[in-house]
A = this chain, B = another copy of it.
Amino acid sequence: MEPCSSTMQLTRAADYGVRVMIHLATLPDHQRTRLPALARATGAPESFLSKVLQALCHAGFVISRRGQLGGFELLAPGRQASVRAVIEAIDGPIRLNLCLSTGLSCKRKNHCPVHPVWGRAQEAMLDVLKAASVAELALQAAAPRA
């Protein structure tokens, strides 16, 4: 009924963001990579990936270096970031349902029996996404296939 959004689905932007972070983390420290190479590595369209990288720079996970030896470089906080932190750097806070937004007070909250269910479902999901770090996933990506 809402063709542009799938229920409870990660946005493409966040998916590409996680991919590009893991790819950068498989490279040696301080290595710089240009946008076209990152687009090839992640399968993301360049123009779209450029916006994703902008958000990751803004979060302090990646830095964009100018000049002939320029390119995108992963910073230490990016390497240590969790999958949750990468998603939220791109799309803002994960809220399984609007009623879980801080600041947005749902009038139904106090008598709505499903409110705590959304809260528990979100917590269970976030626990998994917090436990997985970019650095650890990059190690797995670099490891020889079983």
Contacts and interface: CB of A to CB of B under 8 A. Distances in A.
Interface of A: 1-2, 4-15, 18-19, 22, 43, 51-52, 55, 83, 87, 90-92, 94-99, 107-108, 110-114, 117-118, 120-122, 124-125, 127-129, 132, 137-138, 140-141, 145
A113 B141 contact: yes
A124 B122 contact: no
Contacts of A122: 125
Q: Is the interface of A mostly helix, strand, loop or mixed?
A: helix
A5 B1 contact: no
Contacts of A138: 113
A55 B96 CA distance: 21
A39 B91 CA distance: 31
Contacts of A19: 112, 114
17 contacts: A1-B11, A5-B5, A5-B6, A7-B87, A8-B10, A9-B98, A15-B99, A22-B113, A110-B145, A111-B141, A112-B141, A113-B138, A117-B132, A120-B128, A121-B125, A121-B128, A124-B127
